[in-house]
A and B are shown apart, each in its own frame.
Chain A
Amino acid sequence: DAKTTQPNSMESNEEEPVHLPCNHSTISGTDYIHWYRQLPSQGPEYVIHGLTSNVNNRMASLAIAEDRKSSTLILHRATLRDAAVYYCILTRPGKSTFGDGTTLTVKP
């Protein structure tokens, strides 16, 4: 399975932007980059995904490096409700493998 590497934890101040990095140097041409987040005591929820181009939705933006070996999830204005574990995964037909993710702490 293609592997992703994320920092174990990050901190942000409320109402400031947050950039969550993810390295995926072994990505193949057909792998999609997906981000999920898991709030305390809940199942993971989908945030955003992309293949080659940068993507925006109501929750976040996804910036994908030109060589696709890394990506960054951008939360434009962090709120206390954004405190969660964020998972960056590569998906291909079949199973999706999750790593340990990044625990985001948002300080008021």
Chain B
Amino acid sequence: GAGVSQSPSNKVTEKGKDVELRCDPISGHTALYWYRQSLGQGLEFLIYFQGNSAPDKSGLPSDRFSAERTGGSVSTLTIQRTQQEDSAVYLCASSLEAGAGANVLTFGAGSRLTVL
């Protein structure tokens, strides 16, 4: 597609439920990133994928968080047993490659998660 697409745009869930957030990167972009942005805060790195390499999961806050990228394209971020502190906007970005410092990130509009 023309841009990075994220779904759902808004998700309200009850504490303890599992949620899945989806990201469709720009076609041809080999690198994909997930960030979390709590209200009024900056972006917190979660995970990034580069081609077929093992993902960098160093930013995932707990083992309740996991992400997959199938076929080098679509990615799903899964949060199990959601907690109220998981409420945030989850942003996905893609770039041509993560192997160059000049690579430019294109962000989606984000998925706003509210845990009641």
Contact = CB atoms under 8 A, between A and B. Distances in A.
Interface in B36-83: 41-43, 45, 48, 50, 56, 58-59
A32 to B, nearest CB: 4
Nearest to B47: A95
A97 to B, nearest CB: 6
A46 B105 contact: yes
A32 B102 contact: yes
> Interface residues of A toward B: which range?
20 to 34
A44 B98 CA distance: 18
B101 A32 contact: yes
Contacts, number: 61
A43 B93 contact: yes
Given A43-B107, A99-B42, A93 B102 contact: no
Interface string B82-116: 00000000010100001111111111111000000
Contacts of A95: 33, 45, 48, 56, 58-59, 98
Interface residues of B, number: 27
B101 A44 contact: no
B25 to A, nearest CB: 13
Given A91-B101, A93-B99, A45 B107 contact: yes
B104 A94 contact: no
B94 to A, nearest CB: 11
Interface of A: 30-32, 34, 36, 42-46, 49, 51, 87, 91-101
6 contacts: A43-B110, A93-B100, A94-B98, A95-B98, A96-B33, A98-B35
Interface of B: 4, 33, 35, 41-43, 45, 48, 50, 56, 58-59, 91, 93, 98-110
